[in-house]
Amino acid sequence: MLRISKEFVTDNCSPKNPPVACCQSGDTVMFETRDCYDDRLQGDGTVIEPEKALENPATGPLYVEGAQPGDVLKVHIDKITINPTGLMRCSTSAGAFNDLVEYRKVRQFDTTGEYIQFTDKLKLKIDTMIGVIGTAPDTDTVMTHTPGSHGGNMDCNKIVEGSTLYLPVNVPGALLSMGDLHALMGDGEVMICGLETGGEVTVTVEVVKGFPMPTPALACRGKFYSIQSANTLDQASRKASRAMLKFLQQVTPMDVHDCAMLLSLVGDLSVCQIVDPQLTVRMGIDQSILDAYEVKLP
């Protein structure tokens, strides 16, 4: 299996980034990732200087043979293993609590088991997810702290082991990169970090041609989502809802009115994160809706 070391990291998604590895459609590839602190923050709160040599580093990019602009890159998350510890650091400058936070408190947690011990009374179940995963945009360079139509820092806690992410291909080879693993993160990521850790992500990548995916899209635990980012939550909500509406119109015989009614009845609109330079929302539907119309996701 092809393995990409965490020596090969970048702080941006760009069509100009030279690929660090190359694979065929259908191959399985392992990405070793650094944590969002560029592996520089220590459990006692000290940092290995220079602090954050790279902001939110992502490993890659991977060139997938045969991927052409207009295709979709299917990324099945086969396996995620994480480091034995994870870190959090309070932010005094951003997030929902910046004015309440008194100092940049750091906590380290043991992530070797099924749970983290948060306090003597609270054990929290680990549910590891990928914060940053994306392809290259067509012309722009987007920093890895920003999400967008290419994916990137979506911080969607449904991007977990066993899920399948569908990303747009904007440039030949797609240029896939990923990083910013969280051992656990709530919807919103309101204090600006999850339980940040590094690890290894094994994915199987496949080039999909001619299927109208509402990218970035995700199949996870019996649900299908479109994940969209914008300047405000209002705009992101509208974008995610409309992407799903358009998808339903394309793959079912339902008209715009019935698709809109359906989403108003059973659509699952949720906040992924409110702390990145663009805000991210997902619109989800039950897989059973696709099954009823015999829509098979590629």
Contact positions vs Ca ion (CB under 5 A): 36, 131, 153, 155, 180
For residue 144, the minimal CB distance to Ca ion (Å) is 8
Per DSSP, the residues of 253-271 read S--HHHHHHHHHHH-EEEE
For residue 291, the minimal CB distance to Ca ion (Å) is 33
Q: Smaller CB distance to Ca ion: residue 37 or 247?
A: 37
Q: Smaller CB distance to Ca ion: residue 180 or 200?
A: 180
Counting beta carbons within 10 angstroms of the beta carbon of residue 210, is it exposed (0 to 12), middle (13 to 18) or buried (19 or more)? exposed
The answer to whether 84 and 110 have CB atoms below 8 angstroms apart is yes
Q: Smaller CB distance to Ca ion: residue 231 or 288?
A: 231
Q: Smaller CB distance to Ca ion: residue 131 or 148?
A: 131
Query: In which element (H, E) is residue 60 found?
Result: strand 58-64
Q: Smaller CB distance to Ca ion: residue 39 or 155?
A: 155
How many CB atoms neighbour CB 77 within 10 A? 23
Residues in the chain: 298
For residue 186, the minimal CB distance to Ca ion (Å) is 12
Q: Which residue is nearest to Ca ion (CB)?
A: 131
What does the DSSP 8-state code read for residue 275?
Answer: S
For residue 10, the minimal CB distance to Ca ion (Å) is 15
Rounded CA gap, 185 and 35, in Å?
Answer: 14
For residue 147, the minimal CB distance to Ca ion (Å) is 8
